[in-house]
């Protein structure tokens, strides 16, 4: 089995949220934590996977805020509950960045734009994008990672993709076998 990278504790793991951490609602949004469903084995495998990295950063496009479907505060509370569930599983998510504007509007935080990665680097100056892995389920996730020089991992889903990732997996936890 070929390794994606020789990861050590200086590396950063960037994760998309919907479709990687939780079940994605195609054509809809997670607006309440009661509707947030972790994907199979994400919590169970997170401790072993996350401890291989110095940092775990979630970068998520959430235009549902700009559409007025959820407030920024309620989105932050949803993320706080997600982080707490990871903590209960013995795992740490160091930061969540959410792009809350509509697609193709300023301030252009949405992936594939690099702004959320740059914000992470401001918070954690030691981040080296060439020593980072981006895990997502869409072309914009893969472009985000590739544009920054990261290794890219696509989690297979119903989403049709055209960007070729460095690795394709069925679940996040499977990444442990490739690092």
Model's pTM, two decimal places? 0.96
Instruction: Say whether pLDDT at 147 is over 70.
Output: yes
**87 in a domain, yes or no?**
yes
CATH number at residue 168: 3.40.50.1000
Select which of 8, 18, 74, 174 is catalytic: 18
Residue with tokens 């949004």: 29
Told to judge if 137 belongs to the known catalytic residues of this protein, a careful annotator would answer no
Told to judge if 16 belongs to the known catalytic residues of this protein, a careful annotator would answer yes
- In terms of residue numbers, what domain contains 114? 12-173
**124 in a domain, yes or no?**
yes
Select which of 8, 16, 32, 74 is catalytic: 16
**28 in a domain, yes or no?**
yes
Taking only the tens place, the pLDDT of each residue in 55-110 is 999 999 999 999 999 999 999 999 999 999 999 999 999 999 999 999 988 889 99
Q: What's the number of domains the chain is made of?
A: 1
């Amino acid at each position: 089995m070929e390794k994606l990278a020789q990861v050590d504790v200086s590396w950063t793991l960037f994760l998309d949220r919907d479709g990687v951490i939780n079940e994605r609602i195609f054509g809809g949004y997670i607006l309440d934590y009661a509707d947030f469903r972790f994907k199979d084995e994400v919590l169970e495998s997170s401790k072993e996977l996350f401890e291989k990295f110095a940092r775990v950063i979630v970068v998520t496009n959430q235009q549902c805020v700009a559409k007025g479907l959820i407030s920024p505060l309620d989105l932050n509370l949803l993320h706080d509950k997600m982080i707490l569930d990871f903590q209960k599983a013995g795992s740490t998510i160091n930061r969540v960045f959410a792009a809350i504007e509509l697609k193709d509007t300023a301030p252009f935080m949405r992936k594939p734009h690099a702004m959320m990665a740059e914000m992470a680097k401001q918070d954690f100056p030691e981040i080296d994008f060439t020593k980072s892995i981006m895990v997502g389920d869409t072309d914009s996730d893969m472009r985000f990672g590739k544009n920054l020089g990261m290794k890219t991992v696509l989690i297979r889903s119903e989403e049709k993709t055209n960007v070729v990732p460095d690795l394709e997996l069925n679940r996040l936890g499977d990444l442990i076998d490739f690092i």
